[in-house]
Structure 1
Amino acid sequence: MAVWALGINHHTAPLDLRGRFAFALDQIEPTLQGLRASLGQAGKAHSAVETAILSTCNRTEIYCAADAPAMDHTMHWLANSGGVAPDLLRQHSYVLQDGLVARHAFRVASGLDSMVLGEAQILGQMKNAVRAAETAGALGTTLNQLFQRSFAVAKEVRSSTEIGAHSISMAAAAVRLAGQLFEDLGQIKVLFVGAGEMIELVSTHFAAKNPKQITIANRTVERGEKLAAQFGASTMRLADLPEHLHEYDAIISCTASTLPIIGLGAVESALKKRKRRPMFMVDLAVPRDIEAQVKDLKDVYLYTVDDLATVVRTGQAQRQAAVQQAEVIIDTGVQSFMQWMDQRNPVGGAVSLIQQVNAQADEWRALEIARAKKLIAKGEDIDTVLEALSRGLTQKMLHGTMAELNKGDADERAQTANAVSRLFLRSTRNANKL
């Protein structure tokens, strides 16, 4: 059994490209059925392929399991679904297999791969993705194990480390930026467009500042009224938004619309009615709710999810120790998952292990090379860079070995020492025989 994943996220792809591959939750089931039908054409080994899709404002990821991988076929399917050339998607995506898939899924669930380090919302989004895959009949034993173990690892990371400490959420970042523009948030009128989970989070943070007025505009009136009731807010039909836009100082939007719902012309008209008084706008949707050209207007302060990155990264330095602890927990989880995979396929266990070791070594090498390139770009001395690269690789390769040498009782340590000696000190042992 092979497991593979293909994805794009805020690290690899710009906002507008991510928007092409955003799937609303109610689109997941038919999309998975289309993906499975397409993969079924890749060969007999994919006739019962397992699939799941995780789609958020920061990432779209496809997880698959079958008797053999079909990564190129998956790449072409996703490129076609977004209307882009496979080569363009390949430049901005990542493809993972077996143990690297598990490591990535565990890191995502634990909040280590999020724009907001340690944020908890992604875990709920992953659970929603799993439920959608189950409903579509696309989730088999292997992917179910992968995701259930992801949830268990995430729970352990959150209970055993302080990964969520000092975290600044997207919602808090939006309020902080608004506070930089307006002297008193209690004197502004705020309009929220949409009534989903993200808008509920942001509106909760703004409501704590007691703004003069809060209004919820949503396509479904009943849902908008339900959210408005929590804050004593008023509601508005989405169709009435253009004629009332000028009344609001801050507009925060996050809907599942595939096209912008607030256009350049509407904002220009609102500014004229406001006599150029500034407007604060936050577009948390992927794809965009607010036309990108709005950002060029003189009296508009428009922020997207990517623009909030600098703000939400505040406090990450304090969490680096927690990240290291989390990585150890994830390492253990990956080993456990791969052992489970090998037990299901004992004949291919050795081959799988070799692939995992090679893949892990390639991942470490790529990380250190990327770090070295950054140092060179900053003008660091080449000898210093090479020293850092070699030290980084050595530490990564020996970390697990050193940890194992200090675990267990005397007999276990002796067995480990013997294995380590055979693996790492072969030239010394051979020299002693001469």
Structure 2
Amino acid sequence: MALISMTASHHDLDLDLLEQLTRDTHTLGKSLVAASARNRGCVVLSTCNRFEVYLDVDLDASVPESALVSTARVAAPVTAASSIAAATATATQLISQASSLPHSLTQRAFTVHTGPDVAAHLFRVASGLDSLVVGEREIAGQVRRALRTAHVDQLTTGPLERLFQRALRTSKAIASSTALSSDGRSVVSVALDLASQASPPWPRASVLVVGTGAYAGATVAALRARGVRDIAVYSGSGRAHAFAVSHQITPASDLPSAIADADVVVACSGNSSGHRGGTPPSPSPTSPILDDPAHHPAHDRAGEVAKQSSISYVLDVAAIAAARRASAEAADGPEGAARPLVVVDLALHRDADPRIAGMAGVGFIDLATVRANAPAAAEEVLREAEAVLAAGLAEYAEREDMRTADAAVTAVVEEFARKREARVVGLVGRGVDRAEAGRRAARELNAEMHRRVLGAQGKI
């Protein structure tokens, strides 16, 4: 058995490329387990700034190589390295097919971790230490939901379960024993802080939330914490009313009218609804709110992605323009009299057409803006968090070592039990009394068995 993780994240990739990688991958876990007899289990973690695949791969050479899909087949003899290479090749091939990106580009997009590095990486991710906004707490919930989805799909295994549960336990320990997440830093909070530069004071602001997933819930909570009282929710899926009732906000049935009534629109439906067909994306232009071009890092591969991808937007230029006209009419003035509007797009699969940023009177904030403006955590707090993380990793490694040793000892004992029985049968066949045959077999084999058991326990 070996655990493997494949990571594509904001650290190495343009967000447009990251978005395209996750296209139509909602069944990836099932596909990976079905594709190869060696893939015992899988957990897929997809957030607004990362896409990760965790695999439990069988290294047993008795599993036939022909069980692997042809695109991932490797030359015999089967080794641990070849099994891991086959598993990652299968994953990148399936992701390439789903995303319509070239296989070579998909391969380069992922960083592969094996051995102890898998746990070290996931523990950092679950604790918010690897996040776009360091210390964010949403990521722990996203990790938990990824594990829950794998449960529902019956894709978890003992090693994956222990890995994720220990990572979440360490995340909780960091949150409770350090100040890393005490100031509530998150993608949502950074985005709202930026939006406040061009919106009315929060207690007087009208905010429309587009979407009803986990990020929408986090957005409503963050808005309430800032004193916002006028919050509406819209969902193209028809879930707005139920979400509004559960969060005690107002449901909106007509999107243009709801936008016209809002000072700030926070769009986050793409985090849960997946990719949609339509117009190709384009790199985010400089936000009118933050007019320093450095706030939007260059998207090195955005052109390549734009040729390959195709999406439509919940908030397009036409919808915003119609809302602006309605707002101006309500103010009994020309279109330019419409009150300023801030559009915040927190969806990896974009909800808002980035060309909205070029519209007069409209501010635009997306994940690239958040990434460029994410605050750094204090060094002392990071040191404390790293110490808790190291302790959690050490405990996890110790427990796994003990489990491995116990399994190895059990295997040795069972092996020698079979050898003893075979020896007894042979002696009895030559006329030796069975009790005496048992004693002889024990004398012949016990010393070697004890030596092997000590070796399995690491004592010799």
TM-score of the pair, normalised by structure 1: 0.70
CA distance in 2, matches of 1:225, 1:285: 21
The secondary structure found in structure 1 opposite 2:369 is coil
Partner of 1:233: 249
The secondary structure found in structure 2 opposite 1:60 is strand
Of 195-204 and 286-295, more deviation after overlay is shown by 195-204
Asked if residue 165 in structure 1 is aligned to residue 182 in structure 2, the reply is: yes
How far did residue 35 of structure 1 move? 1.7
Asked if residue 38 in structure 1 is aligned to residue 35 in structure 2, the reply is: yes
Partner of 2:268: 254
The secondary structure found in structure 1 opposite 2:96 is helix
Paired AA for residue 190 in structure 1: V
Distance 1:296 1:165, change over 3 A: same
Partner of 1:387: none
Report Cα offsets for 1:290-324 as digits up to 9, x if no partner: 01221222322111123113444244445222233
Higher helix share: 1
CA distance in 1, matches of 2:32, 2:322: 43
Report Cα offsets for 1:129-164 as digits up to 9, x if no partner: 112112212111221221122223223333333332
Asked if residue 5 in structure 1 is aligned to residue 5 in structure 2, the reply is: yes
Over aligned residues, Cα RMSD in angstroms? 2.7
User: Contact conserved, 1:163 with 1:319, CA < 8 A, in 2?
Assistant: yes
Asked if residue 294 in structure 1 is aligned to residue 356 in structure 2, the reply is: yes
Partner of 2:454: none
1:17-56 equivalences under 5 Å are 17-22=17-22, 28=26, 30-40=27-37, 46=38, 49-56=40-47
Paired AA for residue 370 in structure 2: L
Counterpart selection for 2:132 from 104, 112, 115: 115
Distance 1:17 1:220, change over 3 A: same
Paired AA for residue 135 in structure 1: V
The secondary structure found in structure 2 opposite 1:308 is helix
Counterpart selection for 1:271 from 324, 327, 351: 324
User: Contact conserved, 2:259 with 2:323, CA < 8 A, in 1?
Assistant: yes
Partner of 1:353: none
Partner of 2:51: 60
Distance 1:336 1:80, change over 3 A: farther
User: Contact conserved, 1:10 with 1:306, CA < 8 A, in 2?
Assistant: no
Partner of 2:381: 319
Distance 1:299 1:337, change over 3 A: farther
Report Cα offsets for 1:156-213 as digits up to 9, x if no partner: 3333333323442233223322321134233332111112221122122323445473
The gaps in structure 1 that reach 5 residues or longer are 41-45, 348-434
The secondary structure found in structure 1 opposite 2:266 is strand
The gaps in structure 2 that reach 5 residues or longer are 60-82, 277-312, 329-334, 410-460
1:86-165 equivalences under 5 Å are 86-165=103-182
Asked if residue 218 in structure 1 is aligned to residue 235 in structure 2, the reply is: yes
Partner of 1:280: 342
Distance 1:157 1:271, change over 3 A: same
Distance 1:166 1:184, change over 3 A: closer
User: Contact conserved, 1:103 with 1:334, CA < 8 A, in 2?
Assistant: no
Paired AA for residue 14 in structure 2: P
Distance 1:318 1:272, change over 3 A: farther
1:359-374 equivalences under 5 Å are none
Distance 1:84 1:284, change over 3 A: same
CA distance in 2, matches of 1:20, 1:252: 22
Distance 1:316 1:295, change over 3 A: farther
> What is the percentage of aligned positions where both structures have the same residue?
24
